[in-house]
Amino acid sequence: MSQDYECPFCEIVGGEAAASVVAETDETLAFVDLNPATEGHTLVIPKEHAAGLEGLDPAVGGRLFEEGMAIAAAAREALDPDGINFFLADGVAAGQEVFHVHLHVVPRYEGDDVQFVAEQSRADREELDAVADRLRGAR
């Protein structure tokens, strides 16, 4: 990504672009998604630009999740969904399209047709242990 990337979320934080704000703290901003998957689909972002998780302060990441939980509670009260999904894509291969960290809070309704699908197959314990060893070694 080039340094001249015009970040639409930074424009919202800077007041240069419109947003339907749900909540704001010193470090985060939550607003309704411009292209909502369902009614109440909200994005929670850090105010300070971080293209991906590697550039995000872990404490701010925790606050994103806290705000997401508060938005989920508000959605449950105001919109009466049947469930809530959290979704965060980090990198092109993960489906990230806007390169500013953002947590999707998606109220779910029976029959809404929203799908987060991945093909899965059961791994054997030896494979799982080997992956766990690699991850522990990288922490």
How far is the C-alpha of 67 from the C-alpha of 19, rounded, in Å? 17
Is 116 strand, coil or helix?
coil
Q: Is 102 a catalytic residue?
A: yes
Q: Which of 41, 49, 100, 102 is catalytic?
A: 102
Q: Which one, of 94, 6, 93, lies nearest residue 49 by Cα?
A: 6
Computed on alpha carbons and rounded to an integer, the radius of gyration of the chain in Å comes to 17
Residues acting as catalytic residues: 102
